[in-house]
Structure 1
Amino acid sequence: LFQITAKAAVIFVTLQYNVTIPATEEQSAETISLYHYGIKDLATIFFYMLVAIIIHAIIQEYVLDKINRKMHFSKTKHSKFNESGQLSAFYLFSCVWGTSILVSENYISDPTSLWRDYPHTLIPFQMKFFYILQLAYWFHAFPELYFQKTKKEDIFRQIVYIGLYLFHIAGAYLLNLTHLGLVLLVLHYFVEFLFHISRLFYFSDEKYQKGFSLWAVLFVLGRLLTLILSVLTFGFGLARAEDQQLNFSTGNFNILAVRYSKIGTV
């Protein structure tokens, strides 16, 4: 019985679709473990969605609720404070983790890695785990609308907000654009973190406005850099690739329609 349940639990807890590649002579390790995606990822995402709900509740009860009781916020400020508190924690965690992956994989020092050797069907453990947790977090935001007793007039706006994140993250993951997706996510999350942390300081002291001024500047610069990287990747790097045929078996989605649609969504 335990063996049967253990096998089932592995699908939910651990990353699936491991591929072992023999190391080259230049590498000290004997083998390299890389991952691709598949239908079993849904089970892993579901499990970590439940974990995200638990962590959300812990942060809410042991951190945010205690601060709320001390500050005596109004209902409106109470809701916004909770939102910014949860998101700033998530954005900070994602930025630090994402940046460490960018550095370890040399994506920052070598921008051509964003499109070189596309499709990026095989990715390292940290990269896949990052995307799994990103999807799990944003899926957990749907039941949180009920748990947090979101106002009816705000539900549609929140669903669209969550849906856009899922659309872009899942798009990068499924279209094998994980390198570019990671860079853009870290960039976007850093700007969003600054906004929400500034809003937290503003709620504690309404005279605090400097953070918003800095955020406004970085927001424009961030959007500009996002556009530049997207155009370089889709309009320059992938546009010059030799293989521009749609091929589901190899995970190649480098066709004109996909490139233009991705630039448009950015």
Structure 2
Amino acid sequence: MGIRKKNKNPPILSHEFIIQNHADIVSCLALLLVLGLLFEVTSHVAGLFITVQHNVTISTNEGQEELAVNYFHHGPKDMATVFFYMLIAIIFHAVIQECLLDKINRKMHLSKIKHTKFDESGQLSAFYLLSCGWGISILLSENLMSSPVNLWEGYPHTLMPVAPPPSRFQMKFFYISQLAYWLHALPELYFQKAKNEDIPRQLLYISLYLVHIGGAYILNLNRLGLVLMVLHYFVELLFHVSRLIYFSNESRQAGFTVWAVLFVIGRLLTLSLSVLTVGFGLAGAEHQGPDLTTGNFNMPLIRVAVLAGICATQAFMVWTFINVQLRRWREFQQQLRKSAPPRSSRPRRDRGGPNAINGALGNVPDSPRTRKEKSS
């Protein structure tokens, strides 16, 4: 996982060689794209990968001055940008693994299964923490938290602002980064040598992230998608941080209880905001009907499809959550039975008490009086 020390030199271009050196290979590829900006012949092609595309400049009059404000909208050129930042995500993944997680793992001496889960939680904790902070800053700068009406007012939200103010994060770049991160998780299954039985589960949740984030981006539901991502990422961050704390000290499990409560609240808020925005807000909007030129996808069929997808995903998550909690409860009950003292070691005076039912005395030796009655 990540950049590792090589004890042997595998054949060049073999699977082991690519896995051991994947971070260096990806770094060279990303560097070539950056160097392409230095030459006029290749600068245009390299710019498609590195810079954010599909910008629009709109002039506005404020007082006696005319200001030019830059906006961005989505388009096919975004695929090249997502590819480049997917390479950057692979590099950051390797750096976090090498510089932080591997050093901690060597000190904790975890088992192989816990080692894999610790690495997964460590990587996702860093990503969720960065995404939550970034998303909250966008929500505050765009003043989207002041009223729920802002989630659907002015739809379609095709133009994503860049400035002013200069400190405002770019909404478009946030979505580009999110898509790039979850796309990078696909080759990481190969680089991390994921087990065959774990690949379907990982492919499922990676696909769910890509479909929902990409759907919000393409359908111009940027504001609703941003709010739901921040809400979901915060709950997931708490879970993975709690798991990291649990691996360091197994007696510390209070975080899982808090996460379980917030998980249910998060699902309810997700459904409420989705129904409020898509089912009521967009349904009562002034502009109805599809219009590709303006990016308007506000039509009953698409609204029903969006709500059905969100509800199905939330139901699947709740079903998985319930199954996990039931499995943990059964495992806890089994541990209690194993830790309980055996029946043969209990005091003799308890063998004939009211608890001796359902065959509890089946393995207890007969008393002398019983033997005498049998002989007669």
TM-score by structure 1 length? 0.97
Q: Distance in 2 between matches of 1:23 and 1:89?
A: 39
Cα displacement (A) at 1:6: 1.5
2:153 equivalent to 1:116:
yes
Q: Distance in 2 between matches of 1:205 and 1:90?
A: 23
RMSD after superposition = 1.4
Map Cα deviations across residues 100-127 of structure 1 (whole Å, 9 max, x no partner): 0000000001321110111111112310
2:89 to 45, 52, 64: 52
1:34 to 54, 57, 71: 71
The aligned residue for residue 100 of structure 1 is: 137
2:200 equivalent to 1:156:
yes
Q: Percent identity?
A: 65
Q: Distance in 2 between matches of 1:148 and 1:38?
A: 32
More displaced 10-residue stretch of structure 1: 170-179 or 222-231 = 222-231
May I ask how many residue pairs the two structures share in their alignment?
266
1:225 to 266, 269, 277: 269
- Summarize the Cα distance change of 1:239–1:26 in structure 2 as closer, same or farther, 3 Å threshold: farther
TM-score by structure 2 length? 0.69
Q: Distance in 2 between matches of 1:109 and 1:4?
A: 48
- Summarize the Cα distance change of 1:142–1:14 in structure 2 as closer, same or farther, 3 Å threshold: same
The aligned residue for residue 79 of structure 1 is: 116
Q: Which runs of 4+ in 1 moved over 4 A?
A: 26-29
The aligned residue for residue 200 of structure 1 is: 244
Matches within 5 A, 1:175-194: 175-194=219-238
Paired letter, 1:83? E
- Summarize the Cα distance change of 1:165–1:31 in structure 2 as closer, same or farther, 3 Å threshold: same
2:106 equivalent to 1:69:
yes
Paired letter, 2:51? T
Q: Secondary structure at the match of 1:194?
A: helix
The aligned residue for residue 181 of structure 2 is: 137
Can you give the 5+ residue segments of structure 2 that lack an aligned partner in the other structure?
Answer: 1-35, 163-169, 311-376
The aligned residue for residue 14 of structure 2 is: none
Which has the greater radius of gyration?
Answer: 2
The aligned residue for residue 238 of structure 1 is: 282
Larger proportion of helix: 1
Cα displacement (A) at 1:29: 7.5
Q: Distance in 1 between matches of 2:189 and 2:180?
A: 15
More displaced 10-residue stretch of structure 1: 8-17 or 29-38 = 29-38
Q: Which has the higher contact order (CA 8 A, sep 6+)?
A: 1
Can you give the 5+ residue segments of structure 1 that lack an aligned partner in the other structure?
Answer: none
